[in-house]
């Protein structure tokens, strides 16, 4: 049987890494020869979760990992620019995702399971139930971590009742206290003090295509927004360079305060008018605070995509 | 609550019409205000099934049906050019399908359920089971009809074990003999004797986009291939006109003999070289017989799409 790679998106977050590991496990139980991979460095939050539940990080999707591979399964994403660079060399046999569908095309029918829930792991829990396969304790811990990460401890508007119910069920299997574990994990990922400008801008960045425009939206969680804003001058300069290098139409950095659930945005490039219209705010020196905004998927990307359409 | 339309594809076949009716029923049971619609005339095969199980045809998706509608659910298709003409005016909240994904994009997350099985109705049967909702006898009959239609009585290579298992389960609920009912239904749709040229070319036609090329592939089932081929001169002339009118790159008519499961193709336009390469045949006066080829989705569209890529 040929190897199948299971991969999340570039700039992997806890859901992308965990879901790759967990779904590869499920596919192996179903008779596939599946291997989880990742498309970038493991971030500190994910490292905390992997360490806590004593699970190894997936291998990087390099040439060695891709050797003799013809088929891939995408988790937690579908858009081509967020996926493996040479995705056109592989047959995508499955997608498990909770995002909008865009810039995605196949030549053949496939299994595609998307649900408008807050986290891929919530869908994976259903797939385990439908397959009547038990979830090992450590993997339940990773799935719980993914839900807590994507939902910012159930505070994000993307979080559904099903995500909460799934998280509590998984916490039970994993044997951890949801609130206490969740806050420690988020804090591990939200320590921005030692981060370089490039790390801040690439840790969790996604590109969205709108017609011929490419919009990049990076997001960092922090417990100290002021600490990040101190580097604003250097951040905007680097954003403008990246816009040039990648030929982007626009770059937005979203700094999310995980303690009060507001976000501060820094707008790169020359699209401040569109940003002000999209969020109904006034930018002050390229910056504004968005009250109660924490979700790129639900509160940021859609309004920007609409503004650039 | 706002109205939700459930629609299959243009040139609707038995799966598109049945799945719209059946899924609207399921969504209503789940608390939605859902209405099935169709994007074209009901063909003779589908009319036979509706009449047999005494179910009304869905309304045409005209301005009246679309009044006050903001949300739609697509069944049995996803590609924009196969859907409602003004699909961009609606929010697509769900897709239930068994085709490749292409030319499809949403701004928001949605429920998307595609599986590589032979028929949408096979997926719907799962959704009924997952929701613990019983299937009424008449709707089970329509779902069975859809599977028998899409699978040409289980003879198509698109037909999976799951389709057969589902059909037998549905036949049991509907209380019909699968083989006897199936052959009568297929024959009702395969009577090409009274068909005009335009009917033959539009009854079951789909457009596939490949880069900037639009390929149209029409398919007719028949018990008398010779009867259709007698009109070949007029057919190719009309195909060339349609190519001009719609600015297509190519038009193929597939005449499928439901008794021996071979197909005869007639190639419109000037792409005979590509057709010969795609199917590894020699065209004789724009025509060739493809042995054991019955499936546009699995045996015809993919090789043509590849040839035009």
**Does residue B89 surpass a pLDDT of 80?**
yes
pLDDT of residue A250: 93
> What's the mean pLDDT in A28-54?
97
**Does residue B7 surpass a pLDDT of 80?**
yes
Res. B191 pLDDT band, cuts 50 70 90: confident
The whole-angstrom separation of Cα A190 and Cα A223 is 6
Give me the CATH number covering residue B128. Answer: 3.90.1640.10
Domain check: are A185 and A209 in the same one?
no
The whole-angstrom separation of Cα A80 and Cα A103 is 6
Cβ contact (<8 Å) for B104 and A101?
yes
Range picked from A294-303, B93-102, B186-195 for highest mean pLDDT: B93-102
Mutate to test the interface with A, among B94, B96, B108 (most CBs of A within 10 A): B108
Res. A134 pLDDT band, cuts 50 70 90: very high
pLDDT of residue B145: 98
Domain check: are A14 and A159 in the same one?
yes
| 3-state DSSP assignment of residue A116 | coil
* Min Cα separation A309/chain B (Å): 10
**Does residue A76 surpass a pLDDT of 80?**
yes
The residues of A whose Cβ lies within 8 A of any Cβ of B are: 98-116, 130, 297-298, 302, 305-306
pLDDT of residue A214: 93
Is the CB of residue A56 less than 8 Å from the CB of residue A80?
no
Angle at A303 (CA atoms; ends A301, A306), nearest 5 degrees = 105
Q: Which ipTM value was assigned to this complex?
A: 0.87
* A190, A209, A234 - which closes a domain: A190
- DSSP secondary structure, A153-221, as one string: TTTSTT--HHHHHHHHHHHHHHT--HHHHHHHHHHHH---TT--HHHHHHTTEEEEEETTEEEEEEEEE
β partners of residue A36: A6
* B190, B216, B231 - which closes a domain: B190
Is the CB of residue B116 less than 8 Å from the CB of residue B2?
no
Domain check: are A148 and A260 in the same one?
no
Domain check: are A77 and A210 in the same one?
no
**Does residue A193 surpass a pLDDT of 90?**
no
**Does residue A3 surpass a pLDDT of 80?**
yes
- Please give the tally of structural domains in chain A: 2
pLDDT in tens, B263-282: 999 999 899 999 999 999 99
Domain check: are A274 and A182 in the same one?
no
Domain check: are A157 and A222 in the same one?
no
pLDDT of residue B141: 98
pLDDT of residue B211: 87
Domain check: are B186 and B65 in the same one?
yes
Domain check: are B174 and B238 in the same one?
no
pLDDT of residue A293: 95
**Does residue A154 surpass a pLDDT of 80?**
yes
In B, which residues are within 8 Å of A102 by CB distance?
105-106
pLDDT of residue A107: 87
Backbone angles phi, psi at B92, to 5 degrees: -85, 110
CA B95 vs CA A51, A114, A235, B123: distances in Å: 38, 10, 41, 11
Domain check: are B41 and B168 in the same one?
yes
- Measured between CA atoms, the residue of chain B closest to residue A98 is B109
Mutate to test the interface with B, among A71, A81, A101, A307 (most CBs of B within 10 A): A101
H-only helix segments in B84-160: 120-131, 137-150
Backbone angles phi, psi at B227, to 5 degrees: -60, -40
pLDDT in tens, A78-105: 999 999 999 999 999 999 999 999 999 9
Candidates B98, B109, B306; nearest CB to A107: B306
Percentage of chain B surpassing pLDDT 90?
92
* B136, B164, B190 - which closes a domain: B190
pLDDT of residue A309: 87
Domain that holds residue B220: 197-308
Task: Give a three-class secondary structure readout of B214-257.
Answer: EEEEEEEEECCHHHHHCCHHHHHHHHHHHHHHHCCCEEEEEEEE
Binding residues of A for Mn(2+): 9, 13, 15, 76, 98, 150
Strands B287-290 and B250-257: unpaired
Domain check: are B170 and B204 in the same one?
no
**Does residue B296 surpass a pLDDT of 90?**
yes
pLDDT of residue A60: 97
In B, which residues are within 8 Å of A104 by CB distance?
101, 104
The whole-angstrom separation of Cα A146 and Cα A152 is 10
**Structure-token pair, residue A301:** 């990307």
Read off the DSSP letter of residue A296: I
**Structure-token pair, residue B96:** 């239930």
The whole-angstrom separation of Cα B60 and Cα B42 is 10
Res. B107 pLDDT band, cuts 50 70 90: confident
**Does residue B203 surpass a pLDDT of 90?**
no
**Structure-token pair, residue A135:** 């979830």
Cβ contact (<8 Å) for A109 and B98?
yes
Mutate to test the interface with B, among A97, A102, A107 (most CBs of B within 10 A): A107
pLDDT in tens, A257-307: 998 999 999 999 899 999 999 999 999 999 999 999 999 988 999 999 999
Is the CB of residue B297 less than 8 Å from the CB of residue B99?
yes
The secondary structure element, H or E, covering residue A254 is strand A250-257
Domain check: are B257 and B132 in the same one?
no
Give me the CATH number covering residue B233. Answer: 3.10.310.20
H-only helix segments in chain B: 14-29, 44-52, 63-66, 120-131, 137-150, 161-174, 178-189, 197-202, 225-229, 232-246, 272-279, 301-308
Q: Taking the model in full, what pTM does it have? A: 0.89
Backbone angles phi, psi at B247, to 5 degrees: 55, 45
In A, which residues are within 8 Å of B115 by CB distance?
109, 111
Domain check: are A32 and A152 in the same one?
yes
């Amino acid at each position: 049987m040929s190897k199948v790679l299971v991969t999340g998106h570039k700039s992997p977050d806890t859901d992308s890494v965990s879901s790759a590991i967990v779904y590869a496990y499920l596919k192996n139980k179903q008779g596939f020869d599946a291997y989880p991979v990742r498309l970038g460095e493991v971030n500190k939050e994910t490292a905390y979760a992997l360490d806590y539940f004593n699970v190894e990080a997936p291998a990087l999707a390099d040439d060695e990992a891709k050797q003799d591979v013809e088929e891939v399964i995408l988790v937690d994403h579908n858009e081509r620019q967020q996926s493996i660079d040479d995705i056109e060399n592989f047959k995508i046999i499955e997608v498990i995702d909770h995002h909008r569908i865009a810039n995605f095309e196949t030549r053949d029918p496939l299994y595609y399971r998307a649900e408008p829930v807050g986290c891929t792991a919530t869908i994976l829990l259903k797939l385990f139930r439908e397959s009547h396969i038990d979830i090992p304790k450590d993997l339940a811990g990773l799935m719980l971590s993914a839900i807590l990460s994507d939902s910012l401890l159930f505070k994000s508007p993307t979080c559904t009742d099903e995500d909460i119910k799934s998280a509590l069920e998984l916490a039970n299997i994993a044997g951890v206290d949801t609130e206490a574990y969740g806050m420690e994990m988020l804090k591990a990922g939200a320590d921005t003090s030692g981060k370089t400008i490039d790390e801040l801008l690439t840790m969790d960045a996604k590109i969205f295509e709108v017609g011929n425009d490419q919009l990049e939206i990076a997001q960092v969680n922090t417990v100290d927004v002021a600490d990040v804003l101190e580097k604003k001058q250097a951040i905007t300069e680097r954003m403008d360079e990246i816009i040039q290098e990648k030929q982007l139409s626009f770059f937005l950095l979203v700094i999310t305060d995980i303690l009060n659930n507001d976000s501060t945005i820094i707008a790169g490039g020359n699209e401040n008018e569109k940003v002000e219209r999209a969020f109904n705010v006034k930018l002050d020196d390229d910056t504004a605070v968005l009250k109660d905004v924490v979700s790129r998927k639900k509160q940021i990307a859609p309004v920007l995509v609409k503004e650039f359409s």
